[in-house]
Structures are given as C-alpha cells and as structure tokens.
Amino acid sequence: MVAPTIHVAVIEGLATVDATLSEMARAYRFTPAMRLWHVYAPAMAAPLFSGGVVALGMAMRVAVLAEALGASWPSWVQAASASPRCCGWRRGFPGRPAAR
C-alpha cells in the first residue's frame, strides 16, 4: 500500500526534471553520481516528501485498523462479562467460566 504511493511520487519527480539542466550536466561531463545529486535529487525532493507523508498516513491508518480488527473482544464486552447479573447473561464467553 505504501510502495505504489512512493513509486508514483518518484515518477512525478523524474518527470519534472528540466531538460536543459540534464543537457548542461552532459555538456559539463557530470558523473552519474553528480547528476543524481545536482540534477535529479532537487527535482524529486518535493514530490518524494509529499508522497512519503501520504504513505505514512496510509500506513498509520492500516496499523490502527489492524489493531482494531485484531482485538479479541471489545472492552465493553469484557467489562460486561465480569458482572454475573449484566443483561441476564448466564453463560460465559469462550475462554471464561460461566457466571453462576
């Protein structure tokens, strides 16, 4: 879920690279590392940062949803099962003894 967001941000960043800067880097015989650092990195910084923020938000949302769905019982059910007279329940929940 996070990887497609980052991938799209990188593609958008690469699409915004100015062709004249790339041509100038070739004319001055920049090494590939220099091209990456001086031409491509500044062009990809803003889209990559915004994509990272969106991806982090999505990851946090998925983590909270997984925690909510992975809980065995909601807290109000556990509290209600502790009281034998609550709602007239006579049987216990799975893993709990029956209330008498």
Give residue-wise pLDDT tens across range 15-52: 999 999 999 999 999 999 999 999 999 999 999 999 99
Q: Is the dihedral of CA 92, 93, 94, 95 positive or negative?
A: negative
Confidence bin at 93 (pLDDT 50/70/90): low
Long-range contacts of 59-62 (CB under 8 A, 24+ apart): 59/1, 59/2, 62/1
Instruction: Return the domain boundaries, the chain.
Output: 3-82
CA 29, CA 37: separation in Å to the nearest integer? Answer: 14
pTM score of the predicted model: 0.59
User: Cβ atoms within 10 A of the Cβ of 10, count?
Assistant: 15
At 60-75, the pLDDT tens digits run: 999 888 888 776 665 6
